[in-house]
Amino acid sequence: MSQPPVGGQQPALDPAATMDSQDKLTGEIESIGADYAAAGRLETQPRLDYPPYRSSLLRHPTKDPHHADPETIELWAPAFGQRDVHPLEADLTIQHNGEPIGERIVVAGRVLDGDGRPVRNQLIELWQANAAGRYMHKRDQHPAPLDPNFTGVGRAITGPNGEYSFTTIKPAPYPWKNHHNAWRPAHIHFSLFGTDFTQRMITQMYFPGDPLFALDPIYQTIVDPKARERLVATYDHSITSHEWATGYNWDIVLTGSNRTWMEDDAQDEEH
């Protein structure tokens, strides 16, 4: 570490924050990680208040979330199906006239709830940068080429065992303005629904062994090392196909359903 951690001092806001060095950011990240390890209290979700991610400074609630017992509407989730999503939307490489440039990959896995039950017939949405690290988005001004054959957007409905499979192009890392010389590790954004609305989540999937993990204040918003590794896919040669695409496995676990166990409970009482 080439600079001491900042400990308690509020970092400068955008755009001045873009002048901070990676060493300064890494110092902040390591300091928070050391404090977390010393505290000995397990955290498995990202911190809302994570100063190294500068955009979070004015956008995180300061009050603890208020406990709610879910009511009927929250115990159900919207229904999606074949009317909503065509099966070909899971292939991001066939949306245009030509072949996209880059490393063709398959990302496949299962969506489960916190009880290990498959989440069936539910919507998964995905979006990502292209093989040069550029998003199809008007606010992305990174001077890397757009690929006219790659939009980087896919959707699928999970199968009877909660399974999904996307064919896409491996995204590249890209720079952003959190601090000077800031780079995001390559990632794919995933959006998921469960059986209950309370299970709604959006997250990011990463690739194994990325050298940018330790430097990235978004990946590091999850302060527990084991918890953040849950976002890293596994290379899986059984998903890789001969002369076609390499394969990655990534299973996603949603929070626990509050409807299914109550239904089971009610059934047990009837017996």
Partner 1 sequence: MTQAPELKLVPTPGQTVGPFFGYALPYEKDSELLAPGHPRSIRLHGNVVDGDGAPIPDALLEIWQADETGAISRETGSLVRDGYTFTGFGRAAVDNVGHYTFTTVNPGPTESGKAPFIAMTVFARGLTNRLFTRIYLPEDTEALADDPLLASLDAERRQTMIAEREADGSLRFDLRLQGGAETVFLSYPRES
Considering only residues 146-185, where is the footprint of partner 1 by CB under 8 A?
Answer: 151-153, 155
Site string for partner 1, 69-108 (x = CB under 8 A): xxxxxx-xxxxxxxxxx-----------------------
CA distance 20 to 5: 13
Cβ proximity to partner 1: between 24 and 259 the closer is 259
Is position 237 an interface residue for partner 1 (rule: CB under 8 A)?
no
Binders of partner 1 among residues 44 to 63 (CB under 8 A) are 44-48, 50, 53, 55-63
Binders of partner 1 among residues 1 to 30 (CB under 8 A) are none
Single residue of 6, 18, 104, 136 touching partner 1 by CB under 8 A: 136
Is position 252 an interface residue for partner 1 (rule: CB under 8 A)?
yes
Measure Cα distances from 159 to 57, 86, 92, 109 in Å.
39, 13, 19, 11
Cβ proximity to partner 1: between 57 and 101 the closer is 57
Instruction: Please report, in angstroms and rounded to a whole number, the separation of the first and last CA atoms in the chain.
Output: 63
Is position 143 an interface residue for partner 1 (rule: CB under 8 A)?
no
Q: Determine the 3-state secondary structure of 229 from DSSP.
A: helix
Q: What string of DSSP letters covers 238-267?
A: TT-BTTTBEEEE--EE----SSHHHHHHHH
